[in-house]
Structure 1
Amino acid sequence: MSRGHRLPADWDAIVVGSGMGGLTCAAYLAVTGHRVLVLEQAGVLGGNSHVFRRRSAYEFDAGVHYIGDCGPDGVLPSILRGLGLDGRVEFRAMDPDGFDEVVLPGLRMFVPVGWDRYLDRLIEVLPTDKEGLREFTRVCSAVGAEMRWTLLSAAGVDPAEILRRTPTAMAWGRRTLHDLFEHCRLSAAARTVLAAQALNYGIGPEAATVGTHASVTDHYLRGAAYPVGGGQMLSASLSETITGHGGAVRVGHRVERVLVEEGRACGVVLATGQELRAPIVVSNADYPRTVLELVGEQHFPKSIVKRARTAVMGFPLVVLYVGLDRELPGRRNANLWWHGNADIEEAFRGLTDGRFDAPPSVFISFASGKDPHTPAIRPPGHANFQVMALCPRSLEPWGAAAEPAGGERYRRDPAYLAQKERVTETMLATAERALGPFRRHVTHLELATPATQRRYTRSTGGSPFGLARWGGTGARPDTRTSVAGLYVVGQSTRYGSGITGAAVSGIACAGQILGRPLLPEVYAGAVLGDHRLLPERGADWDPLRVCGGRAPRGTRSS
């Protein structure tokens, strides 16, 4: 993949950033005949779906921990199939009897596939909340199903029919999860179990909408899975689609600004000063950064500028990457959601107030359990897992981490290093509370901070979750902007968070550009990509190298 060659100046469309939203949009534009250029400022494609390698032994996912709704009629498989990628990305199902393990003081529950079985498990561990749990799951299962139907089937449907088909989503979708908890009169423990996986969308019950929670929960209750070969398989396959259909993808190319002339986007200027022209520009940067930095507030209505300036992002993350010289005994193929505080709403209020002496909860993802046969994940007999926790939004505790996005000086700052060492120890101690002692078996230990996230993705506030508040409760912008020819994709749009939400934003954006309902089309079976244009994958094929990574499989990634 070229990094330094000068690019042709004119394109049909330029995509800024290579997260799942940007790559999916670019792939659909490419297979429909557009000459597309994707520009990524980092050294590897994928945004939060990329991987990195350490110690010539371990491969860690930055953001792909599990994906829901991956059956034959699943949303993400349908998007990939529509590009001609059927069979090039495989998904390995997690334990259908318990793909998520939720642990609170005095309570343990495995989350199974299916709303009915989920309710049975909830009542089993929380019998005194039985009636409230029945009402909660009734509302959320209906909202999840109605929102999915709207996404997949409502193109061209009369608005009155949409209203008739989505009564529960209309009544509850924009209200907060806290409102539904109150309506159902649920105990603190029940609220914590129900919202235990809130790290999937990065905000607490008092900010998250029922629509967000219901759609994410419904997504996973349709079956959780992990891409065989790791998260880089997704971006590698999308990159092959783009280049196979005449597009181009470049890493190490930072866009300094989006060009706007006479109210219309017309190209980009790179950090090198090179100007590239296109009548369509798609930004995979988050919405505030797109408005305030890449484009400039002078090109937007005052209402949009105000929202961009007052926007609140999801909480940032700290992630501890762990390699062990032994397996973790007795673990099934399930994530662990460990909560030391049985009152999740109080825990989120603490985060909002900036309290983080120790993480109140952690999410632990076991890559070596989800993909045991991919050699790069870990050496035989070893374990590879990640410990994740939300942290306060302020960057002040990280010292020089508050420097401009993309800066690297923070990594040598004494205040930053001291905070990183302290948080590493608290994360390690919390992980041992959840898993039992393991530190004498540690072979690799590495902490990623909000500053790390900002450096690699240039996200506002170092959050990987996109917008938490954009005006009113539950409001998020669509992919089309008020600037002609300018679009925004990714986790800040109304299509939701996570890998699938970002991919949906990409196909929805391509559909708006093309003026056709692409997602309903491909979900119904349409295949727009030509698999004959995709390259053969030999025995030494490596998704990381396809995406710009310099290291062959099994060696250290720089």
Structure 2
Amino acid sequence: MDELPLRAVVIGSGVGGAAAALLLSHAGVPTLLAEKERRLGGSAAAYERDGFRVDTGTHMLCRGEEGPLGDVLRRVGQGDAITFRQSSEPAALCVAGGARGTRAGAAPRAGRVVLQAELWRLAGAARELARGLDLTPLEAARAARLLAHAAAMRDVDMAACDDATAEGYAARFVPRAAAAARLGSLLGLPLLLPGAEASAGEALFCWRRIARSGQQRYPEGGAARVPEVFCRLARELGAAVWTGAGVRRVLVSDRRVRGVELEDGTALPARIVVSTAGLLPTVSGLVGEAHFPEAYVARARALAPQPRQVQVKIGLRRRLVAAGALAGLGGESDGDGAPALPFYCLVPTRFDPSLAPPGHELLCACAVSGGRDGAPRGAPAASVDGLLRALAGAVPGLLSDAVFVDGAPADGRGEALARAGELAGELATATAQTPGQVGRARPAVYTPVRGLYLAGRAAGGRGAGMELAASSAIECVDRILVDMGRDLGAPAPPALIDIAGDLLGRAAASTVTWAARPRGQAG
């Protein structure tokens, strides 16, 4: 092991990988980030269309500089490197008309905005919440109590709810099955899981963060701005950032990392490898199950991945949505009032109008799919058409003002609406935040293979979306430094910083960050 250079190879340039590369570089560890695509960002990348800058994923609003994304920047002394903007319009909660108000075969009636206020005021909106969720006055009071309780819960109280579902937790307050299902679906939205599958403890953790932080934020320039800045700062600290450099396998012997081999056959010796490819893809694909204990492999195989999301991106000729985000229950309901389609829709142009031509608006939406049967319990499988109907119900006139509609169904093919696979997200590499997969049961950022670590939404961290990935990266790098015998409160040894360029060789000195890695160039 000692004969190997002190080099870390980070696989993947999403928020988790880019944050890990930045933090490692700041700690004085010579780092090379390898991204298989020709552009940076992973599921947080962006593409251009008709004057719009469109996120490839649908991202939750974040706490900006107050959350893990800001923590990463502060750790490297660059707290102002990304501007996080607030919207002048709050988020809105929408519930589409149910089956009782819809004739057979017709589209559901326009959704009702039952909450037009900051999310932290949810507990005080019992009357509107009751109307939208078809709750009785008593159920509305109990639902308000649930939301107020969630905002004040301690960590130990939330941990006690980790193994309950959001729907099961809601049933403690609202016993009627249909009401609990609808309320549970709203609780599970931050995790992009139906209430029947989302961990109550993790969902409540997200809602508490929302309640305590108040106004939510979004990066100026869109979600892609986060990994772009992280990678730029990492390069300024001496890291090499290679695009078009897919990793074929992680080199391991005697349960120790020896480096990686790229798709073109280039071998890069390294003592540390951080994978953001997901737990099972790393274990079974990049490394090989023979290098792990049988129990670890069995656990990796048993974990439920985050289901792929049905997504649509809509460019509008004019501004129609008076909200920074829409969240709720769309589509038709069954006869018992259970939710048909939980959905989330971000309006990035409400935070940064420059993401669209003047006067235009951009919507990025996703429908929540079940991890086991492809749909929330008692509902049809999520589809692009179903999500569009839900959005059209919440925003009348939406499709008639559309400049374009890009969509990706759950299988990632999107033959009718997808743009050359650009919207096929990478959420399937994440570990679903279901009971038995959160808290102490969540996969660790370290592995039985010495020098192999995990970052991103597959292991470690708490929260949702980009914040979960950044939180995981912080946890991962802290563990790496501890394993190296470093004091987390101490600055990087000057000797490590001084020799970083030598250890990386020509890679760090000559590789252009935003260009593809020259074929055959080694570090």
Give the aligned partner of residue 125 of structure 1: 129
Q: Which amino acid aligns with 2:97?
A: P
Instruction: Name whichever structure is richer in helix by fraction.
Output: 1
Secondary structure, aligned partner of 1:172: coil
Give the aligned partner of residue 227 of structure 1: 219
Distance 1:60 1:316 in 2: 19
Q: Does 1:490 align with 2:456?
A: yes
Distance 2:336 2:285 in 1: 34
Distance 2:335 2:40 in 1: 35
Q: Is the 8 A contact 1:68 1:219 kept in 2?
A: no
Structure 1 residues 74 and 453: alpha-carbon distance in aligned structure 2, compared to 1, 3 A threshold: farther
Q: Does 1:137 align with 2:147?
A: yes
Query: What's the CA shift for 1:387?
Result: 3.0
Query: What's the CA shift for 1:66?
Result: 3.9
Q: Is the 8 A contact 1:26 1:36 kept in 2?
A: yes
TM-score computed with the length of structure 1 as normaliser: 0.73
Structure 1 residues 457 and 331: alpha-carbon distance in aligned structure 2, compared to 1, 3 A threshold: closer
Q: Which amino acid aligns with 2:475?
A: A
Q: Which amino acid aligns with 1:125?
A: L
Q: Is the 8 A contact 1:286 1:459 kept in 2?
A: no
Distance 2:251 2:141 in 1: 56
Give the aligned partner of residue 403 of structure 2: 443
Identity percentage of aligned residues:
26
Query: What's the CA shift for 1:344?
Result: 13
1:177-216 alignment, distance < 5 Å: 177-187=166-176, 188-189=178-179, 191-193=181-183, 195-196=185-186, 198-216=188-206
Query: What's the CA shift for 1:456?
Result: 7.1
CA RMSD of aligned residues (A): 3.7
Q: Is the 8 A contact 1:177 1:206 kept in 2?
A: yes
Cα offsets for 1:114-147 (capped at 9, x unmatched) = 65x321113553232244225423542244xx44
Give the aligned partner of residue 75 of structure 1: 68
Structure 1 residues 169 and 471: alpha-carbon distance in aligned structure 2, compared to 1, 3 A threshold: closer
Distance 1:297 1:382 in 2: 50
Count of paired positions: 458
Please list every run of 5 or more consecutive structure 1 residues that lacks an aligned counterpart in the other structure. Answer: 1-8, 148-165, 349-358, 398-421, 531-544, 550-558
Distance 1:381 1:436 in 2: 18
Cα offsets for 1:345-391 (capped at 9, x unmatched) = 9968xxxxxxxxxx72432222222211x2xx221122221232134
Give the aligned partner of residue 237 of structure 1: 229
Distance 1:132 1:302 in 2: 46
Structure 1 residues 371 and 197: alpha-carbon distance in aligned structure 2, compared to 1, 3 A threshold: farther
1:248-397 alignment, distance < 5 Å: 248-328=240-320, 331-341=322-332, 360-372=341-353, 374=354, 377-391=355-369
Structure 1 residues 480 and 465: alpha-carbon distance in aligned structure 2, compared to 1, 3 A threshold: closer
Give the aligned partner of residue 467 of structure 1: 432
Distance 1:94 1:102 in 2: 18
Query: What's the CA shift for 1:445?
Result: 2.0
Aligned partner of 1:13 among 8, 23, 28: 8
Cα offsets for 1:438-466 (capped at 9, x unmatched) = 33333222222345499779988x63653
Aligned partner of 1:476 among 430, 442, 460: 442
Q: Is the 8 A contact 1:39 1:254 kept in 2?
A: yes
Q: Is the 8 A contact 1:323 1:445 kept in 2?
A: yes
Q: Is the 8 A contact 2:310 2:408 kept in 1?
A: yes
Structure 1 residues 31 and 459: alpha-carbon distance in aligned structure 2, compared to 1, 3 A threshold: same
Cα offsets for 1:133-186 (capped at 9, x unmatched) = 25423542244xx44xxxxxxxxxxxxxxxxxx3x1343233322331222135
Q: Which amino acid aligns with 1:89?
A: I
Q: Which amino acid aligns with 2:295?
A: S
Distance 2:223 2:335 in 1: 29
Distance 2:446 2:403 in 1: 47
Q: Does 1:503 align with 2:497?
A: no
Distance 2:492 2:185 in 1: 38
Secondary structure, aligned partner of 1:78: helix
Distance 1:457 1:505 in 2: 24
Q: Is the 8 A contact 2:38 2:244 kept in 1?
A: yes
Distance 2:374 2:181 in 1: 31
Give the aligned partner of residue 88 of structure 1: 81
Query: What's the CA shift for 1:49?
Result: 1.3
Secondary structure, aligned partner of 2:197: coil
Distance 1:345 1:249 in 2: 54
Structure 1 residues 492 and 321: alpha-carbon distance in aligned structure 2, compared to 1, 3 A threshold: same
Cα offsets for 1:71-129 (capped at 9, x unmatched) = 5x433322222222222211111357x323232438533264465x3211135532322
Distance 2:338 2:33 in 1: 40
Q: Is the 8 A contact 1:129 1:190 kept in 2?
A: no
Structure 1 residues 69 and 218: alpha-carbon distance in aligned structure 2, compared to 1, 3 A threshold: farther
Q: Which amino acid aligns with 2:348?
A: A
Distance 1:516 1:344 in 2: 56
Q: Is the 8 A contact 1:201 1:314 kept in 2?
A: no
